[in-house]
Chains A and B, each alone.
Chain A
């Protein structure tokens, strides 16, 4: 047993610790959570693949039928094209919004306690969780891209567009998973979470531009949908994913709104998360 060095402890950042040290420690701690989750996905990718079924149904069944209704102003796009980015955002949303349930699961075991007794800043834990959700979102986005291509959607394959779409997929996924984590901190049991989760996904989905343009909505719903982050995500994805589509909001506004909401949610989650451990 060559265990040595009894007095050495983890480096503790004091006032004299260089900033670069603090930042790199933060990055390692963030990656602790994200890396573990991604490793688990690698061990068992079945869940990811099975989640690809729902978007296929939406695009093939819903899209093909609604595409025959010619009354919708989709800004010069065919309805099938219009729908694809909406369904991409939807599949990412549905995966992310139930993310909190795994946090409750980790609390019911003792895994959460292990996170909480570590010196990792709470925000590093939350951002780590958001990153792992973003990675799931990206895999899912990739699958929906393939499906859409196979269905003949007019997709832009320009690298900068794909890269831009990836940014918005990751951002949206991280945002909604953090939102889900906050709900988990508030309701605290799996049973209640399932109820609330079901109750939340539908309004977020329908009060957005995912499957119909906002112009089509009654005035009050238009107002609500402008407060809905999904609207901004879909707007950006529609602009970046399709050839010849134009943003109705503006990509930089989309980005700033999503980023702003994400930062607020992360700050709130970092406050609530430790209470879950008790």
Chain B
């Protein structure tokens, strides 16, 4: 469903993604974990056609992300790390905007919007302005928006950052239900290790743009020790230094989105 070959992306001297080769199969939930600045978001943006790689190739749903970007866009949903719902519109108006961007027509449009809103537990709040929503509700709305056109692949960049534990649980619960109903492939970045452990079929640990380990949570943990947690895996693989990665820009972005999500 997703294939990357020797994918590299540089910004000036910074190598954000460094020679990544990976293949994600149909229906899989694939987690990207790593510190801020490890290259998770950049990698997702390349798959979502927002960035073009410096070298290497990527294909999503059988289409090349550079040569067939329009086809790729038709088949994917993307929930950015930043706040992407419009606070000055109601929940339903936001859904309408998304449905129209995908050229979904009249009756079908209404049906899908109703369905997605109730699936995400937002039917009652649909006519309120989004700026009155809680952080968790906004995230669920954004996921609902990204799902409207029934994508084959859903990318979620830090879907639970800045949310309190209860709201995080609610988001994941809805994501799991989505997967049950649609069986879509998902790529999720997160730095909440427990979440990755529970949710993902496979995980890639990223550091300085490279995959330092790929495997199921169980494989990764047992490679370190019988009682190891993902935390231990991370410490084992990249040491304590990962705390210091990510510059001012990352912190600012992070805080910004955390604040924006309330």
A1 in contact with B98 (CB, 8 Å): no
A110 in contact with B97 (CB, 8 Å): no
Interface centre among B84, B152, B260 (most CB of A within 10 A): B84
Cα separation A111 to B98 with both chains bound (whole Å)? 11
For A1-45 the 0/1 string (1 means CB < 8 A from B) is: 111011111111000000000001110110111011001100110
Cα separation A43 to B96 with both chains bound (whole Å)? 16
B104 on interface, CB distance cutoff 8 Å: yes
A114 in contact with B145 (CB, 8 Å): yes
Cα separation A276 to B86 with both chains bound (whole Å)? 18
Contacts of A8 in B (CB 8 A): 150
B230 on interface, CB distance cutoff 8 Å: no
Contacts of A2 in B (CB 8 A): 115
A110 in contact with B102 (CB, 8 Å): no
B224 on interface, CB distance cutoff 8 Å: no
Which of A40, A44, A114 is in CB contact (< 8 Å) with B98?
A114
B75 in contact with A110 (CB, 8 Å): no
Within 174-197 of B, Cβ neighbours of A (below 8 Å) are at 177, 181-184
Cα separation A228 to B224 with both chains bound (whole Å)? 70
Cα separation A25 to B49 with both chains bound (whole Å)? 21
Question: Which candidate, A67-75, A115-123, A182-190, A208-216, is the interface stretch facing chain B?
Answer: A115-123
Listed from nearest, the 3 A-B pairs whose CB atoms lie closest are A110-B82, A32-B100, A110-B84
Question: Which candidate, B30-38, B66-74, B202-210, is the interface stretch facing chain A?
Answer: B66-74
Contacts of B102 in A (CB 8 A): 10, 118-120
Within 54-76 of B, Cβ neighbours of A (below 8 Å) are at 70-71, 73-76
Q: Can you pick out 26 interface pairs between chain A and chain B where the beta carbons lie within 8 Å of each other?
A: A1-B118, A5-B150, A8-B150, A9-B149, A9-B151, A10-B74, A10-B103, A10-B149, A10-B150, A29-B100, A29-B103, A32-B97, A32-B100, A35-B100, A36-B93, A39-B89, A109-B83, A109-B260, A110-B81, A111-B86, A114-B84, A117-B73, A117-B78, A119-B70, A120-B103, A278-B50
Within 9-54 of B, Cβ neighbours of A (below 8 Å) are at 45, 48-51
Contacts of B48 in A (CB 8 A): 117
Cα separation A116 to B76 with both chains bound (whole Å)? 12
For B74-116 the 0/1 string (1 means CB < 8 A from A) is: 1111101111111011000100111011111100000000010
Which of B76, B89, B101, B181 is in CB contact (< 8 Å) with A6?
B181
Cα separation A111 to B93 with both chains bound (whole Å)? 14
B119 in contact with A1 (CB, 8 Å): yes
Cα separation A110 to B260 with both chains bound (whole Å)? 11
Which of A3, A115, A119 is in CB contact (< 8 Å) with B182?
A3
| B86 nearest CB across to chain A (Å) | 6
Contacts of A25 in B (CB 8 A): 103
Known A6-B183, A32-B100, A115-B101; judge A109-B177 contact (CB<8 A). Answer: no
| B9 nearest CB across to chain A (Å) | 10
B89 in contact with A40 (CB, 8 Å): yes
A277 on interface, CB distance cutoff 8 Å: yes
Cα separation A114 to B150 with both chains bound (whole Å)? 15
Chain B residues engaging chain A, CB cutoff 8 angstroms: 45, 48-51, 70-71, 73-78, 80-86, 88-89, 93, 96-98, 100-105, 115, 118-119, 129, 145, 149-152, 177, 181-184, 260
Which of A3, A9, A33 is in CB contact (< 8 Å) with B75?
A9
Query: Nearest residue in A to B75 (C-beta to C-beta)?
Result: A9
Interface centre among A26, A43, A113 (most CB of B within 10 A): A113
Given A39-B93, A113-B82, output 20 extra A-B contacts at Cβ < 8 Å: A2-B115, A6-B150, A6-B182, A7-B150, A10-B102, A10-B104, A28-B100, A28-B105, A31-B100, A33-B97, A39-B89, A40-B86, A40-B89, A109-B83, A110-B81, A110-B84, A114-B78, A114-B80, A117-B48, A120-B102
Cα separation A158 to B45 with both chains bound (whole Å)? 54
Query: Nearest residue in A to B49 (C-beta to C-beta)?
Result: A117
| B158 nearest CB across to chain A (Å) | 11
Cα separation A268 to B256 with both chains bound (whole Å)? 31
B74 in contact with A32 (CB, 8 Å): no
A118 in contact with B84 (CB, 8 Å): no
Cα separation A126 to B181 with both chains bound (whole Å)? 35
| A124 nearest CB across to chain B (Å) | 9
Which of B129, B149, B151, B260 is in CB contact (< 8 Å) with A43?
B129
Contacts of A32 in B (CB 8 A): 97-98, 100-101
Query: Nearest residue in B to A118 (C-beta to C-beta)?
Result: B101
Which of B81, B101, B152 is in CB contact (< 8 Å) with A120?
B101
A35 in contact with B97 (CB, 8 Å): yes
Contacts of B104 in A (CB 8 A): 10, 28
| A37 nearest CB across to chain B (Å) | 10
